Structure 1
């Protein structure tokens, strides 16, 4: 599998061009699933797993990975698949890094990596309800047919295992700023309902309201509609928190589009991402983000918001 992922570090030029690469795999069913390659550290054959009594039922065990013990999550169980259609399916583990933590996902067989555009990635249809584990879908051409590829909402999977605390440290709060935060609005752009909830619950403690969009294209249309109506974007919102990965338009492209519009270019933008790696710092500078925040850190999020309002107040 190392050959499959050996050139990941050279693929950072895709970011900012509204493109991505997806690692396709199976979970013992006919369905094809995917994860963004940038979140994948390595793919390994399933190692020996130590059972951990009392652990979450979706954690199938713990393994030693490069000198550290990491949890291995049964992705099939985590997203609620009912049965194993192929009992003889190959077993592998995808090692990932999300929100500054490393974990493995037990999967079936690895297929391949595809290069595609975020414009070809679409939100799941509304008819699938609210309890699904997908952030997006796309189509894969196979011979003369098209197969559906389902992109998993890993943040939701992890949130059901790890209890994210939205508590804000008391000593962080600037009492001179708090009164000026109440009633302010921020724009939150993220395809994960879990991520949007985390931000909403955090800033609500400060009296800050959220306007939410599920992808960069929808957010850009909203911002431009305000400008078309003669409304100043900085009068509508204090700032925008945007994810990096999103269907139709990613956060990097969204930021670049905002900076290219004279009516919007002064908007303060924080990239709030679970993606790890030094390439993010370079991309933030390239497209013009003001701040990079790794998910999920309530105190850091509040600190950025307080600093922004403090700057506005002069």
Structure 2
């Protein structure tokens, strides 16, 4: 049985699968059947990924595991669904970090920071005094030599940057596909690997957004947001409400023109839970919501359920099972 499960997980991680297949895999992964064997297989995958990594990856899996609390040697008698989702998500995120750092010098040592799933936002003070406020599920890396010849920060996730001015050494944020350059400014970068869009929002100053292998660049003005849709490859620059765009920094949740699926994805990350539902349950209707700081998840779901009026749910441990209202 264990070899069989190992093969399934190994095949999943090495294959390009359609979204419905991925959804079925996730549902299989988090159900109670053979949960112990799945846990062992995932830990094996984690170790295997660690062993394949070379010094070129520049990331210490050991410290990331500790920060994410992926390893837990205590025996558990119950199945924690979000734990496996977190492992898969973190593997995807770290893989993205490897990809966009692969062309940089392997001689450089990096300092890494992981903001795990919790309701408390974290602020990092960089060596030059610049501040980085990281949203949940975010990986931040910067070289030990930061501030001398370079001020480059790598991101997978979302963070707000308040940059100290230094005309001689520009401040650069790199994601998997984009580079954001600033001198002295405040801006927000959202680059979650599991989200459809990459976003840069300018709060003050000026930034230049560049895409890898693309000569075009975009210079943003205050209150402008650059959006790149990974699926359609479309780019846009629009005026946005900065108060709403930075709501996460105040612990608030603001959704503007997003689908229920996108909302559930954010709630999973923020509250460390898992939603299980059929991929075709929700359509692409867009919704607007604003939830205040420390809003209870049950209250949020009740409001969304009332507005969408097409689903019911029940909670089991750390998982929420969502079904059509007619069922």
Shared fold by TM > 0.5? no
TM-score (norm 2): 0.26
- TM-score between the two structures when normalised by the length of structure 1: 0.26
